[in-house]
């Protein structure tokens, strides 16, 4: 309120290389959200520099930021944020509507490929309320992939899902990272989830308190196989 300035992030510095799978961890108030907004080009840093794929984000206008988000970043949110009463295919197509480079047929084609990548090719015409939470999140991941961004930015992407489904999503993330070389920055507060990534950055009170590769990286596919099969369904 008023003129008091709050510094959410204080002099943090790190690089994310192409093809990395990084988790950012921290409790609430640690500056996680601010960092995510900055990384996602939703907000410009008031001080310091942020280079995304060689572009200095701090100097860009609102419209240029929008263009950057469209071309270089794929968001995956905790609440999926799919358009209601809209088919999976059209939800995935959405980012392409803001990218004038594609014709209507190319849009369909690319959206279809993205849905195939998340193994939802058989759910093209389903609307979000006809899909389970995990499936909805996979549609959201397809939407993040469709414009072939340099980075996928996931914000608590497993926060609304049960353990099994969370692991399924993580397995998908690992697959995208390993097989297709996608760079993924994954924000979470669950150490369980962080253990699937290759590197963890820990924030506290706006500072990086730990930044190192995960020694015992787990593979979601294996964990999934070892989970007891629940007889609920």
Name the residues that contact another protein, by CB under 8 A. 37, 40, 42-43, 62-63, 66-67, 69-71, 75, 77, 79, 81, 83-86, 90, 94-95, 97-100, 143, 147
**Residue 186 Cβ vs another protein, minimum distance, rounded to whole Å:** 16
User: 208: helix, coil or strand?
Assistant: strand
**Residue 40 Cβ vs another protein, minimum distance, rounded to whole Å:** 7
Q: Find residue 55's DSSP bridge partners.
A: 52
**Residue 86 Cβ vs another protein, minimum distance, rounded to whole Å:** 7
**Residue 215 Cβ vs another protein, minimum distance, rounded to whole Å:** 34
Closer CB to another protein, 100 or 179, in the complex: 100
The C-alpha torsion from 53 through 96 and 161 to 180, rounded to 10°, is: -50
Closer CB to another protein, 5 or 63, in the complex: 63
User: 206: helix, coil or strand?
Assistant: coil
Closer CB to another protein, 81 or 165, in the complex: 81
What gap in Å lies between CA 36 and CA 230, rounded to an integer? 35
Closer CB to another protein, 97 or 219, in the complex: 97
Closer CB to another protein, 2 or 84, in the complex: 84
Q: Which residues contact 220 (CB under 8 A, 6 or more apart)?
A: 167, 168, 170, 171, 173, 174, 196
Token pair 């924030």 is at which residue?
203
**Residue 74 Cβ vs another protein, minimum distance, rounded to whole Å:** 8
What gap in Å lies between CA 18 and CA 87, rounded to an integer? 32
């Amino acid at each position: 309120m008023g003129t008091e300035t709050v510094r959410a992030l204080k002099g943090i510095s790190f690089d994310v290389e192409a093809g990395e799978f990084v988790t950012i961890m921290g409790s609430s108030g640690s500056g996680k959200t601010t960092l995510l907004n900055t990384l996602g080009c939703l907000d410009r840093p008031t001080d310091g520099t942020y280079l995304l794929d060689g572009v200095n984000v701090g100097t860009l206008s609102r419209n240029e930021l929008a263009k950057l988000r469209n071309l270089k970043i794929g968001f995956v949110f905790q609440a999926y944020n799919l358009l209601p009463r809209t088919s999976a295919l059209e939800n995935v197509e959405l980012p392409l509507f803001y990218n004038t480079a594609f014709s209507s047929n190319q849009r369909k084609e690319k959206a279809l490929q993205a849905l195939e990548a998340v193994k939802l090719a058989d759910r093209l015409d389903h609307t979000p309320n006809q899909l389970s939470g995990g499936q909805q999140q996979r549609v959201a991941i397809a939407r993040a992939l469709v414009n072939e961004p340099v980075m996928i930015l996931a914000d608590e992407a497993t926060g609304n899902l049960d353990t099994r489904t969370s692991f399924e999503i993580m397995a998908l993330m690992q697959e995208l990272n390993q097989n297709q070389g996608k760079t993924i920055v994954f924000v979470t507060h669950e150490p369980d989830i962080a253990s699937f990534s290759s590197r963890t950055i820990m924030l506290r009170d706006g500072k990086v308190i730990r930044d190192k590769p995960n020694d015992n990286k787990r593979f979601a596919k294996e964990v999934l196989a070892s989970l007891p099969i629940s007889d609920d369904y």
